[in-house]
Each structure stands twice: as C-alpha cells, then as structure tokens.
A = this chain, B = another copy of it.
Amino acid sequence: MQSKFQQLKARLLEANDISSAAGLLYWDQSTYMPPGGAAARARQSATLRRLAHEKFTDPEIGRLLDSLQPYEKSLGYDSDDASLLRVARRGYERATKIPAKFMAEVTNHTSESYQVWTEARPANDFERVRPYLEKTLAYSRQAADFFPGYEHIADPLIESSDYGMKATDVRNVFAELRQELVPIVSAVTSQALADDSCLHQHFPEEKQLAFGLEVAQKFGYDLNRGRQDKTHHPFMTKFSLGDVRITTRTKENFLGDALFSTLHETGHALYEQGIRMDLEGTPLAGGTSSGVHESQSRLWENIVGRSRGFWEHFYPQLQAVFPEQLGSVPLDAFHRAINKVERSLIRTNADEVTYNLHVMLRFDFELALLEGNLEIRDLPDAWRERFEADFGIVPPDNKDGVLQDVHWYFGLIGGSFQGYTLGNILGAQFFSAAREAHPEIPSEIENGEFSTLHDWLRGNLYQHGSKYTAPEIVQRATGSPLSIEPYMAYLRTKYSELYDLGN
C-alpha cells in the first residue's frame, strides 16, 4: 500500500509542479513580461495547462486511487493520508468527468470571448458579446450535465469553487442576508456621503507600496516566502508553500486602491503561507474553497484594515509618510473616508456594505440563466431593472452594467460570484470566534499587534489547507455552521458608529 501511495503522490506532485510552473508563467506575464512575449506565452501557458490536466487525469491515477480505497478506509477521517486520498479522488473524479476535448473547446471559446469583451466593453457594445455569452451559457449547461443527478443545474458549477455548498444553500443564506442588509443600505445611503477627498490627493507610488508592504509584514506576511510586485489587476499566487506572492496596483491620485488591495491579497497570502509545510506539493496544500479564501482577504482588508482600532496605531505612521497630504486630516475623518458607503455602479469599487448586493444580483442572474428563466438577450434590461430596485440608481450604460465583470466573458456562467459574499460572511464568523477565544485581540490590534489573531487563524484554519471542506472547517473553527449573525453584528456595530442606522 505504501508503495502505491507513494506512486500516487509522485504522480500528483508532477501534475502540481506543472501547474505551478503555469502559475509562474501567468505571474510573469502580469508583472514583467515585455509585450512582445504575449503570443508565445499564451501558447506556452496552454501547453502547460494541458499537460497538467493530462497528468492529473491519467487513468493510472484512477487505478491507484481505486486500489488505495482499503488503505483510506483503514485510516481515520482526520488522517493526512486519508484526507489526501479523499481530496485527490474528488479532484480526479471532477477532472475526468469533463472530457478534455470539451475543456479545450471551452478554453478556445472563452479566450476568443475575452478578446471580444476587451473591445466591446469600452465600446459599450453588448451586442458584440451577446453571441459569445449565449455560447458560454450553452457550454455552462453542458458542463453541469457532465455531473448528472444534481439538485440544481448550478450545483456542479458552484461546487467547483465552493465544494460543499449547493445553489439552494447559497440562495437561503443570501435571502437571509438580503433581508437584513437592505434596510442598512437604505439608511446609510439616504444620509450625506462621507467626505473622502483626503484620499484623492497625490500619493507617490513608492511610498504607497512601501507602507502597504510594511503593514502586510506586520500582519505576518513572510517575505522570506513571498514578495510584492506591481500589476494591473492585483492577485495572490502560490508556486509552493515557500513562495506565495502578492501583486498590487497603485493609483497615485487615490490612496485607497493600493493600500486596501495589498491588505486584501495579504489575507489570501497569509492563508496559503499558513498551510502546514509538510503538505507541500500535495492536493491538500491550498485553500479549501473560494468562500473561505475570500473570508481571509476580507477579514484582513476590512475587519482589521478598515477598523478604527487598527488606524489608531497606524494612522500616525501613515501621516508621517504623507505629512503634506494627511498631516491635518484627523483620524476620525480618515476613518470615515475609508469606510464611505455609497450607491455605486461597479462591484470591485464597492464598499463592504453595498458589495453584497452587487454579488447577489450576479448570483441570481447566474441561476436564472442556467435555469432558462432568463435569456442572454434580456440580460442588459434585467440588469438595469434589478440594479434600480436594489440601489435606487440606473446604470447609464452597459459598460458599467452588465459588461463590467470579466467573469462571464472569460469563464463559465455559474459559481463565479457567490464566494465573494460567502467570504464577507465567513470572515466575520472566523474573526468573531477568534475574538471569543482571545478577547484581547481588539486591543492588540490597537497596538499594531496581530500575532494572537494570526496564530488563531493559522491553528484553526490555515494549517489544514484543503483537508476539510468549507462547511467542515467552519464548524471546527467556529463551533457552528455558516451563519450571517457575526457578519450582521459586525456591520451594525461598525456602521452605527459612522452613520445613523435608525435603530
């Protein structure tokens, strides 16, 4: 058995190494690659992705997994080996159910669709992408149909990023959240807008980057196993547990962009850096779901990074870095500015209160499209109507409406958005559990200390990688299943100090 288990691990490691190399190709493309490298890079990335898929779906892996079933059963659920086999099998079954030929077709189609979208969006031209979206929707349905027996057609798509959640689970949580959230959004957005002009000044790039990285290190981001580089679209990427990188974009005329996106990506990176080193190269060495991953970016960016306590410590330092810009701006004003809530058109720029409404809109549309209850051609109108209902404003064009997010133009429809709001909810739930275990955490944050929080997260969440599913790890770490209560309590407490919530 040990020999078969080692054979399996070696094969999985090979696939993992090729994927990691593909990851580096992408990182390089987004940071340093000269423009002339683009054509060959696209080809090279496709080659590596295909090879990694071939290696991971090699029938020999299936045979090894089969013959290791008795071994797995002989071990406890919590055993590393059993977990590795469980997670590898889940991945293998998923990867082999979708035929490689279909995958290749989808990849070709979405590459083309993405290209068209990059031109159609600035031109505000939904009609150009419509036929592509229609084909994407057809592919998305086909993809789901490779997993017969689903309860809702979106389930297989949701499970690919949030394993353990079904459409109906998400729908229920979102409905509950929506009910609580809408009155808060109404209350807040009916009041005067916070003044965030202090953030809209000139902030030299180098200083922004240095300050963000300083805070990231204070959070616990280990530069011996990571680094920060500039990019157009910030992301976190991992080539091994010893090499977990973040990228950041700066706007010299807006302080809020680089700073909070750095803290956001740092949250993702802390999760990956916190995984037990002995899981390196195995299928367990990664975050367990998109929602749980997002919970960590949100926790560090918002719950910590936009809190009053955090800035009590860091604001004097930020003022020292930008004395001309912030020297005469009081902490209260700054704190209000970085927590400005407003009805805005663009999801990625939205504040943490309204953000979820953007996500729910998209999630509901994904379900409706997959169900056949909404046609692609009706999407722009549906978007406008729903947006007006939720936000009280109508997007003036499709560019900042249905064309704004890359997701549907570069991938399948279904399962792409729910993770963001699940992350908001779970971030608060994890933080609340940590604070319950260690009531000193808030005062430590006020002193710029994060080790108790970081240690709790590492011990209860990070170290396990994807050994446990999202529902399992939430239960283990917080003692209860996913719940919106901690998140709502967090929002109510925080925003009642900043706005009149009318209760």
Contact = CB atoms under 8 A, between A and B. Distances in A.
Contacts of A39: 240, 242
Interface string A378-391: 00000000000000
Contacts of A35: 224-225
Chain A interface, DSSP helix/strand/loop, else mixed = helix
Interface of A: 13-14, 17-18, 20-22, 24-25, 28, 32-41, 43-44, 47-48, 51, 222-227, 229, 239-243, 245, 280-281
Contacts of A241: 40
Contact of A48 (B21, B37, B222, B245): B21
Given A34-B245, A39-B240, 16 more contacts: A17-B40, A17-B43, A17-B44, A18-B48, A21-B25, A28-B28, A36-B224, A36-B226, A36-B242, A36-B243, A37-B243, A40-B239, A40-B241, A40-B280, A44-B239, A51-B51
Contacts of A281: 40, 43
A39 B224 CA distance: 13
Contacts of A37: 225, 239-240, 242-243
B224 A41 contact: no
Most chain-B CB neighbours within 10 Å: which of A17, A25, A44, A223? Answer: A44
Given A43-B281, A51-B51, A34 B223 contact: yes
Nearest to A273: B36
A498 B376 CA distance: 78
A38 to B, nearest CB: 7
A275 to B, nearest CB: 13
Contacts of A40: 17, 20, 239-243, 280-281
Contacts of A239: 37, 40-41, 44
Contacts of A21: 21-22, 24-25, 44, 47-48
Given A14-B47, A44-B20, A47-B18, A36 B229 contact: no
A222 B225 CA distance: 33
A25 B44 CA distance: 13
Nearest to A48: B21
Given A40-B242, A242-B40, A34 B226 contact: yes
27 contacts: A17-B47, A20-B40, A21-B21, A21-B44, A24-B25, A24-B28, A28-B28, A32-B32, A32-B227, A32-B229, A34-B226, A34-B242, A34-B245, A36-B225, A36-B226, A36-B242, A37-B225, A37-B239, A37-B240, A37-B243, A38-B242, A40-B242, A40-B281, A41-B239, A41-B240, A44-B240, A51-B51
Contacts of A226: 34, 36
